[in-house]
């Protein structure tokens, strides 16, 4: 943010919204050609300027004192964002210690040799001082000196590292991201210790000035990919962002698609594994989630535990996951299509049982399915929003009570309750929440197509979904890759999870040159195999 001063004849540059103030040191948000406001040699002018900026801010502290007992100075910080104990015990005693004289050389010597603060930066612009203060740093201003010193003494309350709530697992690390960007970067750095792990920071939000970091491994991620994501981030012009969901919606390729085009995770091991495949990650201060891209649809159906279990177990679990994904999307529509248009496809005994259960039901199968699906989604949403203990009880007890009461009242049939319940259970097997929501959204138009056109409508809906997915891109990567287009080398980690000693190459992302992940002789070979 850039600022400019008010001149004798008026305001230098354009004035936003036409508002004026009486203070000579009043600051305004600069336009493109405005001159930056430089600190004055007069301490009182600098203090007056900052006080006008932070007017009606009771949490901003101006601590006046004398440097070395001779020169007036002030320390400006926000209470609650800095370590007050460090200021009281380290910073102020070091600065107030008497010296013989104070000159420019002595100031540098005092800060470099006496002040025991690890992060000290120097600035001459008022805008950078304000940015430092708002970011939780303490700014030191000294009389007859037109530079300010930003002291890295930030400290605020944060929760401890805990197991991720939405991505819990049986095997693997139990640590998850928290709301501190520094802690999250440290968690990733613990996994990837190479200096090739690069982190580029950018601040987004006119008022929030939220710090966002792009992480990638130099030599694995293609430079054009990193340049593209940086350009998309720099194009964001918004008042503020509070979660990476803002960023995801503003930089994804197709914002109108129900399918997510970026992976949302709160696990450092998932981020590290993605970086090792040549992808990039976006971390934001104030949120425990990270974005990973580019991805494919199959990336969203893979769990971190797939790589911590043996390959055979992981492959079987994937097949179960794919099967229940299809059940979650197609089971209600198939049931409606069979009952409405294709009764001849149902075995006679089963058809008689279903007809007997539906004898007194006043609604057609289409209305019955839509009604029960809406009720189930409402129960699930209520269970998420309520407190944890009450939410689980509402979801389970509510479904049992409402389902049983609806059957006894003759509103819905028992087979429909079974279909909706099985569909709901199948939707929980999708490992990514955003992907599960997309499937739940598509279930309703599939039911409508089935109730209107039968199995023909189901096939039409499937074709439309496949055509839409084939047109999607995630930062240039086809959404259905490596199956469409076919990339045989990458098929080892799609329908099956090949043994780790066979995964010798990385996914073939656009522009990536370093495809070798490991040596080709990783297959176990016991020394005593002949015995």
CA angle 181, 185, 189 (to 5 degrees): 170
The last residue of a domain, from among 231, 264, 295: 295
pLDDT value at residue 295: 94
**Is residue 119 assigned to a domain?**
yes
| Nearest Cα residue to 79 out of 153, 142, 24 | 153
Select the more confidently predicted residue: 459 or 405.
459
Question: Under a CB-based contact definition with an 8 Å cutoff, are residues 150 and 139 in contact?
Answer: yes
Return d(Cα 481, Cα 57) in angstroms, integer: 53
> pLDDT tens, 375-400?
888 888 877 777 766 666 666 667 77
Same domain, 335 and 281: no
Residue 113 has pLDDT above 50, yes or no: yes
Higher pLDDT, 525 or 479: 479
Same-domain status, 146 and 190: no
Q: Is residue 171 part of a domain?
A: no
| Same domain? 450 vs 330 | yes
Check residues 151 and 30 and name the one with the higher pLDDT: 151
The angle formed by the CA atoms of residues 57, 203 and 283, to the nearest 5 degrees, is 115
Residue 499 lies in a domain: no
The verdict on 335 and 446 lying in the same domain is: yes
Query: Both 46 and 144 in a single domain?
Result: yes
Contact 75, 138 (CB under 8 A): yes
Q: Are residues 318 and 465 in the same domain?
A: yes
Least confident of 113-117, 217-221, 287-291, 479-483: 113-117
Do residues 214 and 282 make contact, with C-beta atoms less than 8 angstroms apart?
yes
Is the sign of the CA dihedral 188, 190, 194, 198 positive or negative?
positive
Task: Say what percent of the chain tops pLDDT 90.
Answer: 43
Least confident of 176-190, 296-310, 349-363: 349-363
* C-beta separation of 113 from 43 below 8 A: no
Q: Looking at the domain assignment, is residue 444 inside a domain?
A: yes
The DSSP output letter for 495 is T
Neighbours of 405 (CB within 10 A): 11
Q: Measure Cα distances from 353 to 94, 175, 349, 359, 415 in Å.
A: 87, 51, 6, 10, 9
Please provide the DSSP assignment of 327-396 as one string: HHHHHHHHHHHHHHT-GGGS-HHHHHHHHHHTTT--S-HHHHHHHHHHHHHHHHHHHHHS-HHHHHHHHH
Query: Could you tell me the sign of the dihedral formed by the alpha carbons of 56, 61, 66, 71, in that order?
Result: negative
pLDDT tens per residue, range 39-78: 988 999 999 999 999 988 899 999 999 887 778 899 999 9
Q: Name, of 210-214, 407-411, 491-495, the range with top average pLDDT.
A: 210-214
CA distances from 133 to 41, 77, 522 (A): 20, 6, 53
| CA triple 480-482-488, angle to 5 deg | 155
Lowest mean pLDDT among 304-308, 365-369, 400-404, 482-486: 400-404
Q: Cα–Cα distance between 107 and 128 in angstroms, integer?
A: 20
Query: How many other C-beta atoms can be found within 10 angstroms of the C-beta atom of residue 8?
Result: 5
User: Based on the domain organization, do 333 and 416 belong to the same domain?
Assistant: yes
CB 195 within 8 A of CB 215: no
Lowest mean pLDDT among 25-34, 116-125, 231-240, 458-467: 25-34
Structural domain that includes position 122: 38-151
Contacts of 221 by beta carbon, 8 Å cutoff, 6+ apart: 275, 278, 279, 280, 512
Q: What would the mean pLDDT of 360-389 be, rounded to a whole number?
A: 83
- pLDDT reported for residue 254: 92
> Which of 118, 61, 70, 117 has its CA nearest to residue 96?
70
User: Do 384 and 411 reside in the same domain of the chain?
Assistant: yes
Q: Is-contact 130 123, C-beta < 8 A?
A: no
Residue 139 pairs with which residues in a beta bridge?
Answer: 76, 150
Q: Report the mean per-residue pLDDT for the chain.
A: 84
162 located within any domain:
no
- Helix 365-385 / helix 414-427 crossing angle, nearest 10 deg: 40
Helix, strand and coil in the chain, % to nearest 5: 45, 15, 40
Within a domain: 306: no
Query: Of 447, 463, 478, which residue is a domain's last?
Result: 478
57 and 190 in a common domain: no
pLDDT at 139: 93
Helix (H/G/I), strand (E/B), else coil: 151? strand
Do residues 121 and 149 touch, judged by C-beta distance below 8 A?
yes
Residue 484 reports pLDDT greater than 80: yes
Q: Give bridge partners of residue 282 from the DSSP assignment.
A: 214, 291
**Domain-located, residue 510:** no
Instruction: Single out the residue in 229, 261, 295 at which a domain terminates.
Output: 295
Same domain, 290 and 237: yes
Specify whether the CB–CB gap between 40 and 46 falls below 8 A. Answer: yes
How many residues does this entry show for the chain? 531
Cα separations in angstroms, 518 against 223, 277, 489: 22, 12, 14
Integer distance in angstroms from the first to the last C-alpha of the chain?
74
Percent of the chain at pLDDT exceeding 70: 87
DSSP 246-263: HHHHHH-S-TT-SS-SSE
pLDDT category at 333 given cuts 50, 70, 90 is very high
Are 341 and 462 part of one and the same domain? yes
Same domain, 128 and 258: no
pLDDT at position 391 is 63
Q: Is the dihedral of CA 330, 331, 337, 338 positive or negative?
A: positive
CA–CA gap between residue 516 and residue 317 (Å, rounded) = 27
Confirm if 139 and 213 have CB atoms less than 8 A apart. Answer: no
Domain count, the chain: 3
Residue 361 is assigned to a structural domain of this protein:
yes
What is the pLDDT averaged over residues 275-289?
93
């Amino acid at each position: 943010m850039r600022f400019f001063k008010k001149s004798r004849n008026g305001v230098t540059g354009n004035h936003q919204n036409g508002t004026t103030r009486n203070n000579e040191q009043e600051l305004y948000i600069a336009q493109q050609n405005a001159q930056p406001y430089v600190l004055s040699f007069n301490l009182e002018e600098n203090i007056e300027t900052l006080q006008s900026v932070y007017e009606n801010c009771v949490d901003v502290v101006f601590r006046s004192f004398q440097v070395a007992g001779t020169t007036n100075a002030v320390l400006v910080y926000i209470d609650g964002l800095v370590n007050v104990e460090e200021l009281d015990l380290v910073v102020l005693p070091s600065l107030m210690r008497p010296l013989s004289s104070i000159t420019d050389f002595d100031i540098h010597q005092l800060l470099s040799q006496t002040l025991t603060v690890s992060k000290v930066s120097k600035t001459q612009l008022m805008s950078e001082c304000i940015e430092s203060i708002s970011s939780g740093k303490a700014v030191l201003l000294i009389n007859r000196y037109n530079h300010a010193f930003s002291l890295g003494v930030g400290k605020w309350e944060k929760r401890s590292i805990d197991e991720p709530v939405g991505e819990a697992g049986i095997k693997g690390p139990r640590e998850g991201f928290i709301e501190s960007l520094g802690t999250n970067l440290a968690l990733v750095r613990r996994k990837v210790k190479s200096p090739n792990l690069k982190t580029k920071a950018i601040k987004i939000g006119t008022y929030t000035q939220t710090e966002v970091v792009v992480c990638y491994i130099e030599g694995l991620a293609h430079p054009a990919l990193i340049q593209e994501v940086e350009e998309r981030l720099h194009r964001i012009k918004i008042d503020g962002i509070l979660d990476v969901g803002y960023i995801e919606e503003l930089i994804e390729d197709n914002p109108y698609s129900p399918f997510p085009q970026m992976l949302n995770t709160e696990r450092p091991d998932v981020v590290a594994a993605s970086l090792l495949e040549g992808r990039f990650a976006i971390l934001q201060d104030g949120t425990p989630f990270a974005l990973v891209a580019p991805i494919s649809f199959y990336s969203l159906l893979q769990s971190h535990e797939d790589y911590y279990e043996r390959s055979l177990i992981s492959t079987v679990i994937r097949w179960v996951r794919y099967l229940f994904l299809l059940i979650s999307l197609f089971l209600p529509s198939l049931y409606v299509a069979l009952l409405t248009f294709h009764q001849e496809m149902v075995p006679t005994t089963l058809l008689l049982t279903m007809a007997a259960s539906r004898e007194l039901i006043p609604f057609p199968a289409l209305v019955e399915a839509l009604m029960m699906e809406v009720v189930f989604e409402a129960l699930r949403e209520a269970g998420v929003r309520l407190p944890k203990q009450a939410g689980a009880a509402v979801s389970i007890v509510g479904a049992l009570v409402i389902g049983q009461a609806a059957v006894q009242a003759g509103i819905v049939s028992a087979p429909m309750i079974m279909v909706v319940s099985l569909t709901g259970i199948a939707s929980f097997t999708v490992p990514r929440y955003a992907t599960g929501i997309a499937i739940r959204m598509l279930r309703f138009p599939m039911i409508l197509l089935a109730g209107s056109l039968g199995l023909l409508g189901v096939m039409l809906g499937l074709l439309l979904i496949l055509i839409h997915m084939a047109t999607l891109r995630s930062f240039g990567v086809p959404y259905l890759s490596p199956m469409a287009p076919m990339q045989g080398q990458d098929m080892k980690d799609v329908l099956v999870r090949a043994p780790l000693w066979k995964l010798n190459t990385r996914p073939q992302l656009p522009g990536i040159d370093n495809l070798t992940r490991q040596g080709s002789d990783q297959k176990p070979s016991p020394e005593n195999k002949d015995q």
